[in-house]
Chain A
Amino acid sequence: MTTGETMTLHLKVWRQRGPDQPGALTPYTVTGVSPDMSFLEMLDLLNEQLIERNELPVEFDSDCREGICGTCGLVIDGIAHGPKRACTTCELRMRNYRDGDTITVEPFRARGFPVLKDLVVDRGAFDRIISKGGYISVNTGSAPEANTIPVPKYKTEAAMDAAICIGCGACVAACPNASAALFVGAKVSQFALLPQGHAERKVRVVRMVEQMDTEGFGACSNHGECEAVCPKKISITYIARMRREYFKAALAGV
């Protein structure tokens, strides 16, 4: 835990008043940044300084500020969620920067994630993809006793490694093709790995991929940049698993 010295930082922040309006990188200087602050607390500080000068604060999304809700997400100096690995924007600490640094802050960019204002984007596409099959269809009350179906530990763990996705969209933001394959692959894989998910396994993958394509995300061409920026380190081999599931479904005529 560090204390004491504060920093002055130069920011170039994307400002855009509303959807479909022109935007531009705007320079700001923020003073009094402590190394213990999170990146978002630094932006909070900038906003307080802007309000004091009667300027419009920078709008950005955030909620839990502990890396689990997936609300926050900025492209910081060209990398989704910033320079640290396995870390969301809200978890990134300013001790990773030096006094006088210049930092460029942009929103997640993709056709599937239109900008609403400044750094706030609409990720409703992810909800629509999930609505097509990101679940096991079981009505409340119809579940069998929990220990009826044993699930091997390694399978549960592999499913959990995928289920851990927070839906932040960094994978799309970082992908040169703006593909959502890692997000969809993780959800498809979670249920493909669990016996409970088998009944709708084929229908699920086909529907979710259809919706993913409809939303205008690009095709995955295996750059693996998504895995590198994923705050939960979800492996691109889940994309391969989604593909296996999809091809099997296609062959089965689903």
Chain B
Amino acid sequence: MSEWFDIGENLLDGGVPPGAIEVKWDRYRSEMQLLAPANKRHYRIIVVGTGLAGASAAASLAELGYTVLNFCIQDSPRRAHSVAAQGGINAAKNYQNDGDSVWRLFLDTVRGGDYRSREANVYRLSELSSDIIDQCVAQGVPFAREYGGMLSNRSFGGAQVSRTFYARGQTGQQLLLGCYGALMRQVNAGRVRLFPRREMLDLVRVDGRARGILCRNLVTGEIERYAGEAVLLCTGGYSTVYFLSTNAVNCNATAIWRCYKKGAYFANPSFTQIHPTCVPQLGEVQSKLTLMSESLRNDGRVWVPSEPGDTRAPANISESERDYFLERLYPAFGNLVPRDIASRAAKKMCDEGRGVGPTGYAVYLDFSDAIEREGIDVIRERYNNLFPMYEEITGEDPYHTPMMIYPAPHYTMGGLWVDYNLMSTIPGLYVLGEANYSDHGANRLGASALMQGLADGYFIISYTMEHFLASNKREQVSTDHPAFAESEESIRREVARYLSHTSGKSVKQFHWELGRIMWDKVGMSRNAAGLREAIGEIRALRKEFHDHVHVPGTGEELNKNLEMAGRVADFFELGELMAIDALHRNESCGGHFREEYQTEEGEALRDDENFSYVAAYEYRGPDQKIVLHREPLKFRHAQPSHRSYK
């Protein structure tokens, strides 16, 4: 049917347990098989990643008695990129008495995801949201509070209630330090062995099951083998495929991609989130884009000049010559529309020639009204670190000149396909947090990534994994197994290949060029012609990369260019899959906007009849076509409707 993929005959089954959605999870987890407490220590669990999902999972499993091996590429688990989340974490506590409930959070999330997520998963997430807040407060996370000592909330994009808990503009940091503390407590107790500065380069399967991983020790260059009874991937998203993104420069898709190549299906790769409020790009050699928390849209008003080509300073543009386009287009939600909508609207304004700043690719985020209304001190307290951060980057004072913002790649809803148990298509391989595709459908609402990472790690994986382990016979696998040796050999070959050229373009240049293709053609809005071009260009660039990339140094030392080479090699393949997926999905939904499929007003046009499914791709070998498997999505509670924020 397609030149790029075959279609799988059988539909994928998410394994959602029976029963009413409100009691499904509770009943399911109560009926699961358990392991005797004393037995758990005989099970070695490999957890890759120490972000919110990884650290919370490693800590919780160790608390239960498992022996946990925990890996991260950073020098310390505390540096995982969850640390950079700014705005907050949602929970259906209804502390504000404004009509929130588990049900409303569930509906908001499904709708925010543009009806491309699995209902049962989202409901479970909403249900667990309150427990997360309890857990974090008990850990000493200093959430913002009111004078009376009670927890404070704020509103966030895509919601009409205030359900977001926050710790200034550093919520991710504080939540991560909470799990990091829990993790280090288990390290001290000897139940977690920590392996920092290790990069997972392959998954080992024995008899089909995930039984181990291979890592490169990033300091010594040694290839190390680790065996275990289950492998948990908590390795985050792949926005860095765009080179410029809000993600950390070491974020990568290598762990999930290598598992994909070992048989785990990759779901909805084209579902990427472009965050509306980032500091615009300043120069060609920029290494990353900095996010300005979405919470700024609570007080900031987004505008551009009414007339194209207006280059006057913002102060000289009178009120009547300004277009507060989000308030104009979406009166019900105004500046608080979901991220995909806000991003696209900003792009549209810039495409009309009404963008501002030196490049014309920026819009204003103006705080003057809020400052006048609430006073500069209130605004300063509320956004504490964000304004100085902006000033540091741009050299402009946002208290007096409107901020300039532009969308940037931020989060990937796509990831390895998982069932209700968070298990991939490889038995024993679990995928948690942003690395899986699960709960956010085609667009993630603000303040729900932290929620998902922690729900997966604290409250879901321990049950579902235990059930899996208890229902399978425990068999030790040694790292001397031929599967490990084979895998190590292929890694050594790969490393040697990268190091074989002494001239040519650097890894970074290739990455930058790939990023350009991805941003231009597989970015915020896509069309069939562009996507086809992208696939061709990526393939050509990939060939050039493998023939000519120049990586200096050796493999037996700390060598960051070598690390990046492997990641960029995977990005080429992933980028192509993203383009293929985007090309196949002939509809617009959430973060995936196909120019051919839009309403007359330029809004996304979903096609529920043909595309109400999760697209999961199977890799079958270097010379074989990939296979598209579909998991149909059924909506019994959140009735798909046109997603309107007007």
Q: Are B188 and A147 in contact (CB under 8 A)?
A: no
Which residues of the other chain, A, contact B81 by a CB distance below 8 angstroms?
Answer: 63-64, 69
- Residue-wise interface mask of A (129-164) relative to B, using a CB-CB cutoff of 8 A (1 in contact, 0 not): 011101111111111111100111100110110011
Segment among A43-51, A99-107, A234-242 that sits at the interface with chain B: A43-51
Report the minimum CB–CB distance from B304 to chain A (whole Å).
Answer: 17
User: Given A71-B79, A156-B143, do A37 and B283 touch, yes or no (CB 8 Å)?
Assistant: yes
Interface residues on A, range: 35 or more
Is B84 a contact of A140 with CB atoms below 8 Å?
A: no
1/0 per position for A64-94, CB-CB distance to B under 8 A? 1111111100000000000010110001010
Give the docked Cα–Cα distance between A91 and B390 (Å): 10
- Is the pair B145, A153 in contact by a Cβ cutoff of 8 Å? yes
Interface flags, A32-48, vs B, CB<8A=1, else 0: 00101110110011001
Complex Cα gap A61–B404 (Å): 29
Q: Which of B78, B147, B185 has a CB less than 8 Å from the CB of A137?
A: B185
Pick the contact of A131: B75, B150, B184 (CB < 8 A): B184
The verdict on B317 contacting chain A, using a C-beta distance below 8 Å, is no
Residues of B within 8 Å of A48, CB to CB, are 506, 508-509
Interface string of B488-526 (1 = CB under 8 A from A): 000000000000001100101100000000000000000
Beyond A69-B248, A146-B137, A156-B144, whether A40 also contacts B188 by CB under 8 A is no
Please classify the interface of chain A as helix (H, G, I), strand (E, B), loop, or mixed, using the class held by over half of its residues: loop
- Per-residue A-contact encoding for B156-179, CB less than 8 Å = 1, 0 else: 000000000001101001100100
Q: Assess whether A59 is interfacial by the CB under 8 Å rule.
A: yes
A188 to B492, CA, bound (A): 45
Q: Which of A87, A138, A151 contacts B145 (CB 8 A)?
A: A151
- Tell me whether B184 and A68 are in contact (CB under 8 A): no
Determine whether A116 belongs to the interface, using a CB cutoff of 8 Å to chain B: yes
The CA of A124 and the CA of B72, in the complex, are separated in Å by: 13
Interface string of B391-405 (1 = CB under 8 A from A): 011111000000010
Stretch at the interface among A170-178, A189-197, A221-229, A245-253: A189-197
Q: Which of B137, B168, B553 contacts A196 (CB 8 A)?
A: B137
Q: Is the CB of B552 within 8 A of A55?
A: yes
Contact of A130 among B147, B180, B559 (CB under 8 A): B180
Tell me whether B558 and A160 are in contact (CB under 8 A).
no
- Distance in Å from the Cβ of A20 to the closest Cβ of chain B? 13
Task: Please give, as numbers and ranges, the residues of chain A lying within 8 Å of B306 by CB-CB distance.
Answer: none
- Of residues 608 to 643 in B, which have CB atoms within 8 Å of A's CB atoms? none
Return chain B residues, CB-CB under 8 Å to A190: 140, 142
Q: Whole-angstrom distance between the alpha carbons of A139 and B134 in the complex?
A: 12
Q: 1/0 per position for B546-568, CB-CB distance to A under 8 A? A: 00001011000111110000000
Q: Which residues of B contact A69 (CB under 8 A)?
A: 74, 79, 81, 83-84, 248
CB-based contact A117/B506 at 8 Å = no
Please indicate the chain B residues that have their CB under 8 angstroms from the CB of A51 in the complex: 506, 550, 552, 561
Q: Measured between alpha carbons, how far is A91 from B139 in the docked complex, in Å?
A: 30
Question: Does A218 lie at the interface of the complex (its beta carbon under 8 Å from any beta carbon of B)?
Answer: no
Is residue A10 within 8 Å, beta carbon to beta carbon, of the partner chain? no
Q: How far is the CA of A54 from the CA of B396 in the complex (A)?
A: 39
Contact A160/B389 with A139-B63, A167-B78 known, Cβ cut-off 8 Å: no
Cβ–Cβ contact A37 & B140, under 8 A: no
Let me know if A62 is at the binding interface, CB within 8 A.
Answer: yes
Given that A120-B558, A150-B148 are contacting pairs, would A196 and B184 also be in contact in the complex, using a CB cutoff of 8 Å? no
Smallest distance from the beta carbon of A52 to chain B beta carbons, Å? 8
Docked pose: A38 CA to B550 CA in angstroms = 25
CB < 8 Å: which of A41, A138, A159, A166 contacts B287? A41
Q: Is B75 a contact of A71 with CB atoms below 8 Å?
A: yes
In the assembled complex, which residues on chain A have CB atoms less than 8 Å from the CB atom of B76?
70, 123-124, 126-127, 167
CB proximity of A120 to chain B, nearest CB, Å? 6
Contacts of B462 on A, CB cut-off 8 Å? Answer: 140
Interface string of B120-151 (1 = CB under 8 A from A): 00000000001101111111111111111111
Partner of B358, one of A3, A18, A71, A120: A3
The 8 Å CB contact of A163, one of B142, B357, B552, is B142
Q: Is the CB of A44 within 8 A of B151?
A: no
* Contact residues in B for A91 (Cβ distance below 8 Å): 389, 392-393
A150 touches B149 (CB 8 A): yes
- Is A243 engaged at the interface, CB distance under 8 Å to the other chain? no
CA distance A84 to B391 in the complex (A): 13
CB <8 Å contact, A196 and B83: no
* Contact call B248/A63, Cβ cutoff below 8 A: yes
The CA-CA distance from A117 to B287 in the complex, in Å, is 22
Max count, chain B CB within 10 A of own CB: residue among A55, A141, A157: A141
Decide if B459 is an interface residue (CB 8 Å cutoff): yes
Query: Any chain A CB within 8 A of the CB of B449?
Result: no
Question: Residue B93 at the A interface, CB < 8 A?
Answer: yes
Q: How far is the CB of B132 from chain A (nearest CB, A)?
A: 9
How far apart are the CA atoms of A163 and B184 in the complex, in Å? Answer: 16
Establish whether residues B287 and A40, one from each chain, have CB atoms under 8 Å apart when the complex forms.
yes
A65 and B75 contact, CB distance less than 8 A: no
Please give the distance in Å from B515's CB to the nearest CB on chain A. 14
The answer to whether B392 touches A93 (Cβ under 8 A) is: yes
Nearest 4 Cβ contacts at the A-B interface: A150-B149, A135-B181, A143-B138, A131-B184
25 contacts between A and B (CB under 8 A): A3-B283, A18-B558, A38-B287, A40-B287, A41-B286, A41-B287, A50-B552, A63-B79, A65-B248, A66-B84, A91-B389, A93-B392, A131-B184, A137-B185, A138-B139, A138-B182, A140-B462, A151-B145, A159-B140, A160-B168, A163-B177, A164-B168, A164-B173, A194-B140, A196-B139
**Could you tell me which A residues sit within 8 Å of B by CB distance?**
1-3, 17-18, 34, 36-38, 40-41, 44-45, 48, 50-52, 54-57, 59, 61-71, 84, 86-87, 91, 93, 95, 116-117, 120, 122-124, 126-127, 130-132, 134-147, 150-153, 156-157, 159-160, 163-164, 166-167, 190-191, 194, 196-197
Given A137-B185, A143-B135, 14 more A-B residue pairs with CB atoms under 8 Å apart are A17-B557, A45-B285, A55-B552, A59-B560, A64-B248, A127-B196, A131-B188, A135-B182, A142-B138, A153-B147, A167-B78, A167-B79, A196-B137, A197-B140
